Structure 1
């Protein structure tokens, strides 16, 4: 059994579907006039307007410390398991807490050393990375033992799709 195919006319082809999809791109044929109501006349002011507030001065940034306490709390075994799993727990009311250390959350320095001064972390974080990196000593390369023999190996591709396929960023199968 054979079927005959005839060329499709534009009315029956799919082109009419495409036309309806992009009809919104064509401009409207007759633009509608926009009528705007006239604004009401502004009445004359007989009083002087209030003076403008003075320009706000730039406020100094808050450089105060945020104090935290490292604490030691005695808990029951049930609360200990919850604290281990969640990383937090609820203490009972009236429970005594022993403070091990009081320090600033930002600069991580003890209360005794920095009380009354600005927080160094809010000024500059170089104290957390060991000071100025340009003056820091380079890492020392370990020297191999006297009887060791160094065998040069091949290069390892650690970038791109080749690294992924070769098992650098995922385990080999």
Structure 2
């Protein structure tokens, strides 16, 4: 067992003096001279509340594109098997890699089209689903051939115990 080499304060039991958490509530009292204390009463202590922390600046979100390159690299059969298994491989130093396409990783748009603008994926992803869904045209129902005749069929129960018993959710025997 080891003992501390620094002397401890016997009053607090700590090696370093610690400031009270509520020191700002206690009045700052300095003992006045005996003659001055007899003439005037002591003024009321001034209590100052703690300072508020400085306001935190809200940083603007980063709307920059993250550019990636689709590349074509010629490799040996051994490196090809490693790349297929791991999904990555180490390229040799000085290897020339042909860039097929340069595009943004987020919005998946080509570099030429969006090089001076903010990334649309970081703002809103509606471009990835074909725009505003309420403004899109509905899918067209195919029209049957002119010589076709539509024969109405029965309804199929796809819910509940009746569907299970009839073989909709399980194969028939």
Whether the 8 Å contact between 1:71 and 1:99 is mirrored in structure 2 is yes
Separation (CA, whole Å) in 2 of partners of 1:71 and 1:120: 24
Separation (CA, whole Å) in 1 of partners of 2:114 and 2:140: 34
- Alpha-carbon distance, 1:113 to partner: 1.2
- 1:89–1:154 CA distance, 2 compared to 1 (3 A): same
| Equivalent residue runs for 1:111-150 within 5 Å | 111-150=111-150
Partner of 2:59: 59
- 1:163–1:117 CA distance, 2 compared to 1 (3 A): farther
Q: Secondary structure at the match of 2:116?
A: coil
Q: Secondary structure at the match of 2:56?
A: coil
TM-score scaled by structure 1?
0.61
Whether the 8 Å contact between 2:106 and 2:119 is mirrored in structure 1 is yes
Separation (CA, whole Å) in 1 of partners of 2:71 and 2:54: 48
Separation (CA, whole Å) in 2 of partners of 1:45 and 1:171: 85
Q: Deviations over 1:99-157 (max 9, x none)?
A: 11111111111111111211111111111111111111111001111222222223333
- 1:77–1:131 CA distance, 2 compared to 1 (3 A): same
Partner of 1:93: 92
Q: Secondary structure at the match of 1:134?
A: coil
TM-score scaled by structure 2?
0.61
Partner of 1:69: 69
Whether the 8 Å contact between 1:68 and 1:105 is mirrored in structure 2 is yes
Q: Secondary structure at the match of 1:112?
A: helix
Structure 2 gaps of 5+ residues are 1-19, 29-47
RMSD: 3.1
- Alpha-carbon distance, 1:53 to partner: 3.7
Whether the 8 Å contact between 2:82 and 2:89 is mirrored in structure 1 is no
Separation (CA, whole Å) in 1 of partners of 2:172 and 2:57: 62
- Alpha-carbon distance, 1:70 to partner: 0.8
Q: How many pairs align? A: 132
- Alpha-carbon distance, 1:93 to partner: 2.6
